[in-house]
Amino acid sequence: MRIQQLEYLETIVKMGSINEAAKALYLTQPSLSNAIKELEKEMGITILNRSKLGVSLTNEGREFMIYSRQVLDQVQLLEGRYQKQVVRKQAFSVSAQHYAFVVHAFVQLIKTVNADEYQFTLRETETDNILSDLTNFKSEIGILYLNHFNERVMQKLFKEKDLIFTPLFTALPHVFVGRQNPLTKKEKVSLDDLVDYPYLSYEQGENNSFYFSEEILSTIDHKKSIKVSDRATIFNLMVGLNGYTISSGIISSALNDDKIVAIPLDVDDSMTLGWLKPRQSKLSSIAETYLKMLKQHIRGYGFEII
């Protein structure tokens, strides 16, 4: 086994295609494919599922990648220590449901990075994609919520995909509305108060199960319903259409210009927000720093870290 083979494999997994990885590595597709086949033969496992649509990791491949990443991290540490002329980009990636506190901590993290070059990725994405990003090593950390409705199903998926969920904090549901919405006059709103307002929620792509919804009470039928794909759009619709969504109650005024207001929702429910990682992987120092900043930001809104 050669370090170069592990680096090739990491690029393939990142690109999701041997052909695209070959272009990025300036190799021919057959030579790259053969290098991975030799690695599989030597290890005695099948690392990649190959199809016309691209490649994905097998269960054995996901486990192998955990150890491969640790080897490559150690190689980079050695090169950074003894090859001073080599410039290494700091890298970090997080996949999350649509939460302002996730973005705020990400911004703080980048501001503290002491490096001339870095490659950071923040994916605000569908719930199923968070799990996929972690199992395929596109992200180091995933952030989502559990409650009494989805917990059993989600925990089963975490176990199947060998992921660990660590709680961060528990929040009571809040309704997010534009500052000019008449509901802002209320200290607390009920479901009946919301009937005539457009309900805004995030679409979940092909896996549109109620259990994957980012909003609690996802099985309730609504007279007016609008699905969106990004946080900027959902905020614009809150302001422009007096729409609402349901979330944790944390709003970052620094990012949202005080246009959005959170009002407690009078329901018997709660949300436990937390972070995910592959069970056998060890967090990088950058990931540890990000989690520290995330917790500081959450505490700043009066929540207690679990």
pLDDT digits (tens, 9 = 90+) for 153-202: 999 999 999 999 999 999 999 999 999 999 999 999 999 999 999 999 99
pLDDT confidence band for 268 (50 / 70 / 90): very high
Q: What is the pLDDT of residue 86?
A: 53
Residue 82 has pLDDT above 80, yes or no: no
**Strands 225-228, 199-202: pairing kind:** parallel
Report helix, strand or coil for 90.
strand
Residue 35 has pLDDT above 70, yes or no: yes
Angle at CA of residue 302, ends 299 and 303, nearest 5°: 65
Report helix, strand or coil for 226.
strand
Q: What is the pLDDT of residue 59?
A: 87
Residues 264, 270 contacting (CB under 8 angstroms): no
Q: What is the pLDDT of residue 257?
A: 57
pLDDT confidence band for 84 (50 / 70 / 90): low
Q: Which of 1-15, 75-89, 188-202 has the lowest mean pLDDT?
A: 75-89
Q: What is the pLDDT of residue 175?
A: 95
0.85 exceeded by pTM? no
**Strands 48-51, 54-57: pairing kind:** antiparallel
Dmax over CA atoms of the chain, in Å, equals 68
Cβ-in-10-Å burial (0-12, 13-18, 19+) of 185 comes to: exposed
Mean pLDDT of 42-59: 89
In the chain, % of residues over pLDDT 90:
55
pLDDT confidence band for 88 (50 / 70 / 90): low
Q: Where are the beta strands (DSSP E) in 147-266?
A: 163-171, 174-178, 199-202, 225-228, 245-247, 260-264
Please tell me which residue, 206 or 100, carries the higher pLDDT value: 100
Q: What is the pLDDT of residue 198?
A: 95
Spell out the domains of the chain, with CATH numbers in brackets.
Answer: 1-83 (1.10.10.10), 170-270 (3.40.190.290)
Residue 87 has pLDDT above 80, yes or no: no
Q: What is the pLDDT of residue 117?
A: 77
Mean pLDDT of 286-296: 94
Residue 175 CB partners (closer than 8 Å, separation 6+): 183, 189, 194, 244, 245, 246, 262, 263, 264, 265
Q: Which of 73-82, 171-180, 274-283 has the lowest mean pLDDT?
A: 73-82
CA distance 111 to 67: 30
